[in-house]
Chain A
């Protein structure tokens, strides 16, 4: 009976696992290989099966778990990235890219005005680039998330709620 109650309690807990020192180092090493990022001065955690979040709040992991017992935690920190199941490569979210923009030195794909607009409208970009893998999409000063470049296209991951509904300057 007590075990069942404990199991039910665990089911309700937020599926959050903070990275320990080694896991964080491994993650940053991978970020460095992919994008040249050298440092994430915040706590990093895995939320659920695929989301990586970053948390800058001034509270310990133990206190967070305690808080989850006090009130159901529905969200924490900022959605930073996902890990690609097949390649184990990191795909940064829009906010993830913006957060580390100044550190990014590798795998940046510069868009022009037309392709940036198509990108923000959620369209895949049909083009042959000679590149492969995850690239940071950039137009002028704006960092527009991550795209996956394959032989003839760049796959788009802009969520529906963040897409341009029309071409800029055209009502």
Chain B
């Protein structure tokens, strides 16, 4: 049992109360609970049925929470600390330990086998490996990361999962998009899982609360707007971009989508997720966002028993307006 010794800062509490209203206490209580032990079957190596059977033979109680996504699994039985990561099946790349909320952005982007896809901020590779599996190891997947240490983690994870259709690049995301644009290298789909303040990860990483400050959020918001602006430029006409963060801060979420909708030839798409979510907000403090921003999804720990996330899908509109 992890020791949870943290005190949310008053401004954080105030902001979360504005977002959640009477649900705030419920949210706080959920943060005290241990996270669910979820993982994703790596369908590049083994079928969900075969993996489930095999793990059950080890004595693990496995739950498949979503009928339409049999690759998503939860271990319900008690395990020793670290047992999920030490198991032979993990070492052989049969599954990837991944929070359920983190599996949602690739499901929304839905990359297909023949597509050209960019994962702009790819490390540690959970969503990269998921997308490669969805693409059945074909098409082209470019996974970018700017820090060499994080590239090593990304490379280790993609190797363990048997990813063959991928090229790893090392460049600042904004500069990379600029170079792609100059070379007319365009993508069918882009995942922008942006660097963020991580408010949604408090349940698994309570220290996030200690590091929280509003200045970081404001700075990240600027970076995220630059990233989404750069990424939109290298989408093909009708290309799709999923923007996600693991934070609740509206400056890093709705404000970024609002910025994209106001400044670029894009529209927001409605999305369906297999768990309970809330709509994107259109007002926070004194700030107001476009009505369509409501089509974004907010994932909260107390509603879905996952980490917190924000997910939105935008589509580049053709020059003729379609």
Contact = CB atoms under 8 A, between A and B. Distances in A.
A2 interface: no
A17 interface: no
A48 interface: no
Interface residues of A, number: 36
Nearest to B113: A58
B185 A75 contact: no
A12 to B, nearest CB: 11
A169 B87 CA distance: 9
Given A94-B92, A95-B93, A142-B92, A73 B168 contact: yes
Given A58-B139, A67-B185, A163-B91, A75 B86 contact: no
B271 interface: no
A81 B163 CA distance: 15
Contact of A166 (B86, B116, B160): B86
Interface residues of B, number: 42
B65 interface: no
Nearest to B83: A171
Contacts of B162: 78, 95, 98-99
Contacts of A70: 176, 179-180, 182-183, 185
Contacts, number: 105
Contacts of B164: 42, 54-57, 77-78, 99
Interface stretch (B151-159, B274-282, B294-302): B151-159
A158 B176 CA distance: 35
Contacts of B2: none
Nearest to B151: A74
Interface in B37-77: 45, 58
Contacts of B159: 78-79, 95
Q: Which of A67, A70, A98, A169 counts the most B-chain CB atoms under 10 A from its CB? A: A70
A57 B141 contact: yes
Interface in B69-110: 80, 83, 86-88, 91-93
9 contacts: A56-B164, A57-B141, A57-B165, A70-B176, A73-B167, A73-B169, A98-B45, A99-B164, A171-B80
Interface of A: 42, 54-59, 64, 66-67, 70-79, 94-95, 98-99, 120, 142, 144, 161-166, 168-169, 171
Nearest 6 A-B pairs (CB), nearest first?
Answer: A75-B168, A71-B169, A56-B164, A171-B80, A71-B171, A70-B179
Interface of B: 45, 58, 80, 83, 86-88, 91-93, 114, 116, 137-142, 144, 148, 151, 155-156, 158-160, 162-171, 176, 179-180, 182-183, 185
Given A74-B148, A75-B168, 18 more contacts: A42-B164, A55-B165, A57-B165, A57-B166, A57-B167, A58-B116, A58-B139, A70-B182, A74-B155, A74-B168, A74-B170, A76-B167, A94-B93, A99-B164, A161-B156, A162-B91, A164-B88, A165-B86
